[in-house]
Structure 1
Amino acid sequence: MSVEVLALVAAVVAVAAFVQGSSGLGFALIVAPVVGIVAPGTLPVFLLAVMIPLNLYVAWRERAALDLRGAGWITVARLTATPAGLVLLMAVPDRHLGLLVGAATVLAAAVSLLAPSFTPGRAAYLTAGAVTGLTETATGVGGPPLALVYQHRPPAELRATVAVCFLAGEVASLAALFAFGQARPDQVAPALMAVPAVVLGVWLSRLTHRHLDAARMRITVLVFALVSGGVLMLGL
């Protein structure tokens, strides 16, 4: 990444870290389409790597609200589906990865906006984990299925459980990508440089996460994801 591109990405990462630290979702939906436009060669490794410190902090901060049962079922399905996501990534030519990221972003946002409320059970946990394992490994975008499962639960429970599920999945996906030659160290370097932006965003979120209108922010994030994902698709 050039200095200018890195500065842009850092600003977007800071905003996205604030949003996810406050509401429990939105980081990948904000960052993925932007990075897909300015630095597509770093995906999905950049997203997976930069989200690890974010989710470590959120999981620790909200640990008292964790839904251990739901997180367990989701993580089992998430890890089981990781190889399928790796196969999908290997099957997609590099020149089409941006299109895949844009399509995944738009689809995820649309489903999140339109899905009705429901009470999650084991089947919902397993389905959300499997879909997340497929899409996050292939594109870096995996949050909306988890957000759908927890969208009507207390905000702290959503933040804690989604962060824990993400954390386990991101480590597994990165390990698989490196093991099968689908990730390179130079794709991780920009993520390391973006860590200060993550720290800034989550530090600001700790000041507001108990008071922010999470529902309004959720709609704003999803609309942004629809627009930016559509731009990424049309640009290719």
Structure 2
Amino acid sequence: MIVAGFVQGLSGIGFALIFAPVAGLLDAAMLPLALLVLMVPVNAYVVWRERSAVDWHGFRWIGIARVASTPLGLVVLTAVPESRLGLLIGAATVLAAIISLIAPDFHPSRAAFLGAGLATGLSETATGVGGPPLALVYQHSPAPRLRSTVAASFLLGELVSIALLLARGVGDVGSVLDAAWLAPALVIGLLLSSQVHHRIDSKRLRLLVLVFALVSGVVLMLS
């Protein structure tokens, strides 16, 4: 959790890619609700820290698609048996990391924003992993814009996903308590990131995050 909070604070992605496979191996019941609950303060903090850099134009189109696709993620989650959830999360993690590694340079359009929002709403609600589509859209933007806009998009979507999951009985108060006992470690990671986020090469860090995601996703699938 410390590492996940630190990486998210530095690069704007990586929290779910790091934490979801580990949680899937240790306690799959934490996914996706506890993961989504933990990501709310992470992204709220990043948005507040770099609020002047948010791309509100892109955020608007991503948000529309993100909210619209959330019910599809719930359908996937309820259709997959708990015994197979680890396989789904591992596959989603590996696929997301591979796409992020091989995607070519491009300038994001409205269609790209909408596509990223749709993909994120589906995958994040179902598995807790939704960062790579957003990172792809902003991967060639300045680091503050990437971090702040991705965080704002996450924050909106997470609140919608949490409300829908609780309303449909997916997860319970126990999942929220699972998240609460990890909060101190999360705070440590965020505070550490705030000390060095302006000095770290985010591209190199992003590569390390994606390699870790590939390895941990494969391990989770095999287990």
TM-score by structure 1 length?
0.94
Structure-1 separation of matches of 2:31 and 2:57: 31
| Letter in structure 2 aligned against 1:99 | L
Cα deviations by residue, 1:144-195 (Å, 9 ceiling, x for unpaired): 0000000000000000000100001001001000111112111111111111
Q: 1:224 — aligned with what?
A: 212
Structure-2 separation of matches of 1:39 and 1:135: 19
Residues 137, 173 of structure 1: 8 Å contact kept: yes
Q: Which runs of 5+ in 2 are unaligned?
A: none
Map residues 33-182 of structure 1 onto 2, 5 A cutoff.
33-182=21-170
Structure 2 residue 177 is matched with structure 1 residue 189: yes
Measured on the aligned residues, the alpha-carbon RMSD in Å equals 0.6
Runs of 4+ in 1 over 2 A off after TM superposition: none
Matched pairs, number = 223
Structure 2 residue 201 is matched with structure 1 residue 213: yes
Shift of 1:139: 0.2
- Where 1:117 maps in the other structure, the secondary structure is coil
Cα deviations by residue, 1:22-53 (Å, 9 ceiling, x for unpaired): 11111100000000000011100111000111
| Letter in structure 2 aligned against 1:92 | V
- Where 1:211 maps in the other structure, the secondary structure is coil
Q: 2:189 pairs with 194, 201, 223, which one? A: 201
Q: Which runs of 5+ in 1 are unaligned?
A: 1-12
| Letter in structure 1 aligned against 2:204 | R
Cα deviations by residue, 1:100-150 (Å, 9 ceiling, x for unpaired): 000000000000001101000100000000000000000000000000000
Structure-2 separation of matches of 1:142 and 1:101: 11
- Where 1:119 maps in the other structure, the secondary structure is coil
Q: 1:4 — aligned with what?
A: none
Cα deviations by residue, 1:176-221 (Å, 9 ceiling, x for unpaired): 0011111211111111111111111111111111000111111110
Structure-2 separation of matches of 1:80 and 1:99: 26
| Letter in structure 2 aligned against 1:190 | D
| Letter in structure 2 aligned against 1:105 | T
Q: 2:2 — aligned with what?
A: 14
| Letter in structure 1 aligned against 2:186 | V
TM-score by structure 2 length?
0.99
Structure-1 separation of matches of 2:172 and 2:91: 24
Q: 1:234 — aligned with what?
A: 222
Structure-2 separation of matches of 1:22 and 1:94: 33
| Letter in structure 2 aligned against 1:77 | A
Structure-2 separation of matches of 1:54 and 1:94: 27
Residues 53, 195 of structure 1: 8 Å contact kept: no
Structure-2 separation of matches of 1:197 and 1:62: 22
